[in-house]
Every structure is written in structure tokens, then in C-alpha cells.
Structure 1
Amino acid sequence: MKCNPAAFLETEGAVELLRWFKKTESVFGISKCAEGKKVKFAAATLQGPALTWWNAKIATMGLETVNQMPWIEMKQLMTAEFCPIEEVQRMEHELWNLKVKEYNIMAYTQRFNELALMCLRMVEPERVKVDAYIQGLTDNIKGEVTSSKPANLNEDIHMAHKLMEQKS
């Protein structure tokens, strides 16, 4: 079976990194990758600036040390390098101020989900995430979505899309 590991280039910032983590972990699961092999496997998918950074880590820490590193530690190192606190703060600000533009609920939902993945402290627990999503909706559907009392984000999104469709 071909698992198609995703390459990580480090050209699009934190969202790209998070997507790469998710895709890589999916491949780990499909291929039943042993914990001791995850870092080697993931490192083999690095390209461009990310590969240069990883080679510098190897030079500093030693090949044996990085190859014995747990996957969680590699993720922490990569997050520290490719998701600087300033970028996370910028994304938190964007999430806080995110609004539906030109009635494009699809674009709003996609960006909300991307930002929510990177700004976990702003959208936990689930009720806070639901409220944050509702906050960015247009005024003509915000009240109806709120009064439907969605239990989770999926219900929230479904209701918002349905209402936006009716309004346009």
C-alpha cells in the first residue's frame, strides 16, 4: 500500500506545519510505524528550509540522539522553530476578529477551523469554540444559530450553512 507521506517545506507557516503533523501521523497509523522509527520517517519528508534546519539539529545534537528522539519531542522542536509565538499571537488575534465576509460562509468556516487548530487555548472547551464560531457570523443569522443551542461545532456549522443558504 502506498501511504504518500507529505513533504514539509516550511513555506506557509504554522497552518502548513499542523497539516503536515496530521498527515504524517495518519501515515504512521496506516503503516503501523513503530515509535522508534517515526522521527527517521518524518525527517525523510523534510525539504527546503525545513531540511536545512533539521540538518543543523543533527549537527548540533548528533545523529544517534535525533534518531532516538520521541516523535512528540520532534513535534515540539518543530513547533518552536516554525510556529514562533508572534505568529501564534497573530493567529489568535485573527481568530478573535474573524468575521464572515461577503456571505462566504465556506471560507469563514475553513479559516475558523485552521485557526482553531493553532489557537487551542482560545477554543477550549467545545462550548467556547461554538461561541467563538457564532461570534463571527453575520448579524442576520447569528441570533438564529445561537437560539438553536448547538451542542458542538459540527451542529453550529451545519446550522450556519443552512441559514446562510436560505438568506442568499
Structure 2
Amino acid sequence: MACEPPVYNGEVDPIVCQRWLSDIEGVFERTHCDEDDYIACGTGQLRGQAKDWWDNKKKEIGSEAAKAMTWDEFKTPFLKHHTPKAVVNRIKEEFMQLRHKGESIHKITGTFMDKMEFCNELITNEEQKIYYYYNMLSTEYREFMTPSKYETLTEIINVAREREIELKKQVERVERRAHDVNPSPTKKMRTKVTGKKSDAKGGSPNCKICGKGHRGECRFKDKPCPICRKTLRDIWLHHAQKK
């Protein structure tokens, strides 16, 4: 129990069922469990509908036959009940039609491996595994791969992971360039305000006569207004005297 053997609730899902069998057999191996105790230890981890099935099975074959049953003899009816042929056939079809559509390589590889477990009669060697994995990948991965270069499935999976990292870097570079060319409104406003402050500090003061920023004598001070014929200097002096 220190190895935390997994429980099985009786899901009619071949992938979940096979994973439970693999995990519980791993516990048997790690704990050096006696083969005579496989049934007692394994069925002790059944829950829900799986336990109901086993209880009914024991009644069907008798308690003595259940005690004498080997692990392989247990797995045959266990798999027949929890991995119906129709469900297994559906998984095989899903494997054949599996395509990479934006998922991470980690996720799509996990799905590929789970479904491939039920295609043993279709995939019998590493070359076929590589072939199906390659054809499952999206174009942006396949265009940089040559299936004949790889000898094992692990090799092409690692190449796909490296390609995924490179694609992410490309996207990040494009986003950085786009951000530099078109900064956010907040950055634009900050730049504009900074520019105004800079002008106020290092630019020319506003003229009291024309209102514009310049240094030296105002060239508009003696230029008459086209309506009242008064110069801007006369108007400014007139207002200054009123104040």
C-alpha cells in the first residue's frame, strides 16, 4: 500500500482500463508480490462498478475457483467486460484519423501513444510507428522532417519537440517586432507626455505678444491687425494697462 496502487472504478474505457492494469502490475513488480497474491491485491483496488462486476464473477464461478484463478485468467474476462470490441474499434478509427491541430506536442503525443496501444495488428515495428506519427503532425512540423532519417519513434518525437520550441521563438520575435512598430496606446501617451515635458524644459518660452514659443524679439509686434489696424504690441500693452 506504500506504493499507492491505483484504484479502478469500472469505466468502460479501454485506455483507462489498460492503464490501470499496467500500473497495478507495476506495483506487483516493485513490491516483489507473490503471484499467488496478485488476485487478492489487484481486486482489492476495484471500486464501484468494477467491484460489482468482480463480486458477480465470483458468484458465477464459485469462491474456490476465484481463489485458484491466476492473474492472466482474471485479465481475460476483465478485459472482455471493460474493453468492448465496439469501443476498441472506435479507438482504432480515431487513431487512423488523428491529426495535430494546434495542441502541444506533449498532449498530441500522449493521445497518439494511448490509442496506438490498441493497434498492435496494424503497427508491428518502429518504421510504421514513425510513419503514422509523422503523418499525424501538422504541415509546419512535417516540412522540416524526413521520416527516413529516424530509427525510433522516440527520435521523431524529440525532433517534434525541438521544432515546437523553435516555432514558439518565431512567434515571440514577430510579436516583439509588432509591438515595437505599433506600441500600445498607453506607451504612446507616455511618450507624448514625455515629449511635452522635454519641450517645456529645453524649448523656447511662449511669447507674451503672439503666444508662440520663440526667443528674441517678436516679429509680429509691429504688424498691424487687418481689421482694427492696431499692432499686436499695442493690443498687448492695452490689456496690460487694464490689468
Interval containing the TM-score (normalised by the shorter chain): over 0.9
Question: Aligned-pair RMSD on alpha carbons?
Answer: 1.6
Q: Distance in 1 between matches of 2:157 and 2:110?
A: 10
Q: Distance in 1 between matches of 2:103 and 2:5?
A: 36
Deviation for aligned residue 1:148 = 6.0
Q: Is the 8 A contact 1:122 1:129 kept in 2?
A: no
Corresponding residue number in structure 2 for 1:54: 54
Deviation for aligned residue 1:76 = 1.7
Q: Which has the larger radius of gyration?
A: 2
What is the TM-score normalised by the length of structure 1? 0.92
What is the TM-score normalised by the length of structure 2? 0.65
Deviation for aligned residue 1:19 = 1.0
| Bigger RCO of structures 1 and 2 (CA < 8 A, at least 6 apart) | 1
- Residues 102-142 of structure 1, C-alpha deviations (whole Å, 9 max, x = no match): 25222211100111123222322121111111110011221
Corresponding residue number in structure 1 for 2:25: 25
Deviation for aligned residue 1:12 = 5.8
For 1:139, the aligned partner's letter is T
Deviation for aligned residue 1:164 = 2.4
Deviation for aligned residue 1:60 = 0.3
Return structure 1 stretches of 4+ with deviation > 6 angstroms: none
Corresponding residue number in structure 2 for 1:121: 121
Number of aligned positions between the proteins: 168
Corresponding residue number in structure 2 for 1:2: 2
In structure 2, runs of 5+ residues without a counterpart are 169-243
Q: Is the 8 A contact 1:116 1:122 kept in 2?
A: no
Corresponding residue number in structure 1 for 2:14: 14
Taking every aligned residue pair, what percent have the same amino acid on both sides?
Answer: 26
- Residues 16-68 of structure 1, C-alpha deviations (whole Å, 9 max, x = no match): 11111111011101111111111111111111000001111000001121221
